[in-house]
Amino acid sequence: MTPPGDVLDRIAAANPVEVSAIPRSGAPDAAALRARVVPPAPRSRGRAVSVTLTGAALAGAAVMFTMALPRGTDGPTGSPPPGPAVSPTTLGPTPSAKISPPPDAPAFDMEILRPGGGENALSGRRFTNASLLGRRTVIAFWASWCGPCRTDLPDLRRIAATAGPGTAVVIVASMDPPPDALAALDATGLPVALDRRGTALEAFGATGLPTTILTDTRGRVIWKVYGPGLEGIEATLQTTPRD
Partner 1 sequence: MTASADRFDAVYAAHRPAVLAYALRRLPAAEADEVVAETFVTAWRSIERMPADPLPWLFGIARNVVRHQRRAAGRRAALSDRLHREPAPPHATVGGDMPVMDALARLGASDRELVMLVCWEGLSLPEAAEVLGTTHVAARVRLHRARRRLAALLDERPAGARATTEEIA
What residue ranges bind partner 1 (CB under 8 A)? 1-8, 10-20, 22, 24, 27-28, 30-31, 33-34, 36-37, 68-70, 73, 145, 147
Alpha-carbon span 191 to 61, nearest angstrom:
30
The residue (of 74 and 243) whose beta carbon lies closer to partner 1 is 74
**Cβ nearer to partner 1, comparing 219 with 227:** 227
| CB of 6 vs partner 1, minimal distance in Å | 8
Question: What's the chain's Rg over C-alpha atoms?
Answer: 21
Please provide the size of the chain in residues.
243
Minimum separation from the CB atom of position 171 to partner 1 (A): 20
Per the DSSP assignment, residues forming a β-bridge with 211 are 141, 226
For 3, 96, 116, 152, 233, the CA distances from 90, given in Å and listed in that order, are: 61, 13, 28, 18, 12
Report how far residue 53's alpha carbon sits from residue 42's, in angstroms, rounded to the nearest whole number: 9
Which lies closer to partner 1 via its Cβ, residue 127 or residue 145? 145
Q: How far is CA 29 from CA 24, 25, 177, 193, in A?
A: 11, 9, 10, 21
Provide the 3-class DSSP secondary structure of residue 238.
coil
20 vs 96, beta carbon nearer partner 1: 20
DSSP class per residue in 89-101: TSSS--HHHHHSP
Nearest Cα to Cα of residue 193 among 107, 114, 128? 114
Q: Shortest Cβ distance from residue 230 to partner 1 (Å)? A: 17
26 vs 101, which CB is nearer to partner 1? 26
Shortest Å distance, C-beta 180 to partner 1: 14
Q: Which residues fall within 8 angstroms of residue 69, CB to CB, at 6 or more apart? A: 75, 78
Q: How far is the CB of 73 from partner 1 (least distance, A)?
A: 7
Q: Are 85 and 100 in contact (CB under 8 A)?
A: no
Output 30 or 99, the one with its CB closest to partner 1: 30
Nearer to partner 1 among residue 208 and residue 232 (C-beta): 208
Shortest reach from residue 118's CB to partner 1, in Å: 32
Shortest Å, Cβ 14 to partner 1: 4
Query: Residue 40 corresponds to which amino acid?
Result: P
